[in-house]
């Protein structure tokens, strides 16, 4: 469409601009939550359910955190073990659970455990509710990803079948109409 040096410049600049844009968007997606935060968000529903079960059985927040952290593993389990160790060594519950709440998604669990550790407020119900909310949030996110995948799959199908539909279905009709009009 464009000839000469301007065409060469446009022909070389277009792919370079597309490469730059794709690279920038990939880096922007990479700046999202860290792998540790994503793994902890995946473990949060199970951890909250286990914490609620331990608290319902009569354990204190420090013993519940130790039991759940030891059985769970991963980033959330490691944080729970660290919090249990700090509490056992005499750490201030507000500070310990505040550091635990620094992990994205764990703020509500940390607040409930902090209240249970400092004021003795029963934490079974809030932690069980948190587990239910986390499970609901996880299932909604999975359903949204599945719907999005279904939409994204239709684009390649449309690109494959639309030319065939035009060539086999529409073109003969238009050619037949053109012959009859001429």
Q: Is the pTM of this model over 0.75?
A: no
If you average pLDDT over residues 114-136, what whole number do you get? 90
CB atoms within 10 A of CB 49: 18
| pLDDT for residue 88 is more than 80 | yes
Q: What is the pLDDT of residue 31?
A: 61
The mean of the pLDDT values for the chain is 86
| pLDDT for residue 62 is more than 80 | yes
Q: What is the 3-state secondary structure (H, E, C) of 133-168?
A: HHHHHHHHHHHHHHHHHHHHHHHHHHHHHHHHHHHH
Q: Is 113 in contact with 123 (CB distance < 8 Å)? A: yes
Cα 138–chain centre separation: 8
Q: What is the pLDDT of residue 30?
A: 57
The confidence band for 27, taking pLDDT boundaries of 50, 70 and 90, is low
């Amino acid at each position: 469409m464009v000839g000469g040096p301007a065409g060469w410049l446009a022909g070389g600049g277009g792919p370079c601009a597309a490469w730059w844009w794709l690279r920038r968007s990939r880096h922007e997606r990479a700046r999202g939550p860290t792998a540790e935060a994503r793994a902890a968000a995946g473990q949060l529903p199970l951890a909250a359910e286990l914490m609620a079960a331990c608290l319902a059985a009569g354990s204190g927040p420090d013993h519940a955190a130790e039991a759940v952290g030891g059985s769970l593993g991963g980033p959330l389990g490691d944080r729970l073990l660290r919090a249990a160790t700090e509490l056992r060594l005499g750490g201030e519950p507000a500070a310990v659970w505040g550091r635990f709440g620094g992990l994205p998604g764990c703020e509500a669990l940390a607040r409930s455990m902090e209240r249970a550790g400092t004021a003795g407020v029963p934490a079974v119900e809030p932690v069980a509710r948190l587990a239910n909310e986390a499970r609901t949030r996880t299932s909604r996110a999975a359903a949204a990803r599945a719907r999005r995948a279904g939409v994204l799959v239709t684009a390649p199908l449309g690109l494959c079948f639309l030319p065939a539909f035009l060539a086999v279905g529409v073109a003969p009709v238009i050619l037949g109409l053109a012959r009859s009009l001429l």
